[in-house]
Structure 1
Amino acid sequence: MEMSVRDLQKKSATSGIILGIVLIVCSVLSFYFITTIATSIWMITLGPMFFSVIIPLIIAILFTSDLRKKIGGYWTFRQAVTGIFIMFFCAYVVSYIGYNLLFVRVIEPQAIQKTEEKVVGATTAVMEKQGVDQEKIDEQEKKMRDQFDIQNNMTPVKIISGVGISLIFMFVIAMIFAAIFKKDPPLSMSNTYTADDYVDPTV
């Protein structure tokens, strides 16, 4: 099956938008799990990992496999990197706008503060039960609150830096996924491919 650059970009972008919406839902569920359901430091620690890492990873794998099927079941490493990176990039943009800008700033403007109080409260409670000195508890609490203050007071430079790091990270993950999901077409099919099939991932 011949696949043009434009077709690959369109299918990847569509999958990315859907993936981004799923990531928004996972982030919202993670926030409410931490602030309303979690009752221990273990739940507060493992909950976000489940919603922010495990579920998104599984869904990303399923979407990558589905994307390969949509373009005919075969793609070169370069095609795979291009398609997967576009999908991840679109998902990142959608989730950033939906969660960081809309949910955190409009729907739940106290999201960071609520999360902070829950995390700090659970951590200090565990330390108190373990008989840790109050001085050390206060020191640990200050460190945690300082970290949350950084999140709550992001400067434009830090935001741009964060976006840049995220793009590099996404490209690396896209290359890893591409290496795993690459499936070169049989020789009889590859001979029918056009120059458009070989996509520059920087496009």
Structure 2
Amino acid sequence: MARIKWVFFDIDNTLFDSQRLAAEARKNAVRAMIKAGLKAKPNEAFEKLMSIVKRYTSNYPEHFDRLVAEYDVEKELRAKIIAAGQGEYHNTKFRLLVPLEGVKETLRKLKRRGYSLGIITNGRAVKQWDKIIRLSVSEFFEPSTVIISEDAKAEKPQESIFTYALWKAKCPPHEAIMVGDKEEDMAAKHVGMHVIMVRRGQSFSEILKQVERIEKGR
């Protein structure tokens, strides 16, 4: 039987549906760029944008600049088109950036039952904190145990980011759980942590039951 003291969460596709958000935001951005003067077919431009994201990663700050460079755009129109894409991307993102059903209730119940909560996530610190704040879940996490790869100088699935989180929490690995949706999150088991995989469409309230099962050794 394990006495669990800490439960760590990923953010993207764990606390909110980042897959849907990113797809909708990029599609709307392309439409806005075309409306602003980009001479392109929506589907073609979207595919080009996705190729750019894949090549440069999602944290690259000039996706829309690269997309405009793929087309013959008058110099005077470039800034306007890029700004239109960025503006609509962020408008859509802020509209859809909401917690998955049951997230806040589950976090609240975990806290009431005496568990400490943390985050282990890859990405830029300001960008990930922006998500935490906009999701209105910052009250559940102490800043010292919001572990972001940019600050930790390591990223999942590297073991060092998990050991760093445990060190910050002053928690032995067998008393901690990592909750996430990807194999990189499940890498926490290699340092001795318990793991819970979040499945798409799964009720978030199931997390409570899985934590209880781990504590009972099932």
TM-score of the superposed pair, with normalisation by structure 2:
0.26
Bigger proportion of residues as strand: 2
Bigger proportion of residues as helix: 1
TM-score of the superposed pair, with normalisation by structure 1:
0.28
Largest Rg, 1 or 2: 1
Higher relative contact order (CA 8 A, sep 6+): 1
